[in-house]
Amino acid sequence: MRIHFRFYSFHPFALVVYYMAILFGSMFIVNPVVRLEALLGGVIFLSLIRKRRMVSDIWFYLILFILIWITNPLFSHNGETPLFFMNGNPVTLEAFKCGASIAAAILASIIWFASAAEIIDDEKIVYLAGRFFPRLGLTISMALRFVPRLKKDFSACENAQKTAGLLTSDSFFDRLKFKLGILMSVSAKSVESSVIISRSMRARGYGMKGSTAYSRFFLRVSDVVLAVVSLITFVAEIIAVISGKVGIEFYPSVTELPVNFMAVSTYILYGITAFLPTIIEATEYLKWKYYISKI
């Protein structure tokens, strides 16, 4: 289903730069505007990707947000505005506000990681690793195949031995011993297969200087634009964090929301970047509807 989304078709390098910029801002810029932009942008985009699944996931994210929000005041008793006392410790308004900020940052990061898992698939990961670290790319490729292949071999071996009548006892320990024996057999087979693949790839010159590899990823103008916008946003975020003119403090009292030139520029730039996937998908949807209407 992911191939139906325009954002999925972007070059892996552009996607990595984009997610790096988004996640850095959501995690390290302590500002409610930036974190709200990250949270809303992530929720909307993930809803477009997962559609009906997001309806059930939204309850999990909501419960997680509430738990983080109300847990922070129980451990942090700083702040100059106590609301009530619990076991002799003050529960302050500043702690609640800080908890909401932390919850938004964690939730936004989780949601953007979830969307990255949908957009950056195994093939893109292997491509990125293999371009600069061929051995790492081969290792990742083999690791991604290991678990599904191990499960398939385990099921085939278990069915074969059951059909042959080798499992005759219903005892828990006998069944455990039976399954451990199968696991050891298929694990040995997987290790042997990995060694064979490694030697075969080395014999074919994989990772050697001057070797080439097929790739279906080609850098286009749209990829360059996405990478440049994301890189500019990432650099602006680093400058904002280092300068200290964008973040706010929660203790002992909550400082005012920054409205200086750097802060407003960061709000605008990060907001555009956070909603960029949604804008791209909305544009593609409108284009599709327009072309359909012309048929």
Residue with the larger pLDDT of the pair 14 and 166: 14
Average model confidence (pLDDT) across the chain: 83
Dihedral sign for Cα atoms in the order 152, 157, 162, 168: negative
pLDDT at position 278 is 93
pLDDT at position 275 is 96
Where are the chain's structural domains?
2-124+216-293, 134-203
Cα gap 268→233, rounded to integer Å:
10
Residue with the larger pLDDT of the pair 260 and 179: 260
**Closest by CA position to 233, among listed 42, 14, 45, 39:** 14
pLDDT tens digits, 184-219: 888 787 777 777 877 777 777 766 666 665 567 788
pLDDT at 273 over 70: yes
Q: For 10-24, 34-48, 85-99, 156-170, which range has the lowest pLDDT when averaged over its residues?
A: 156-170
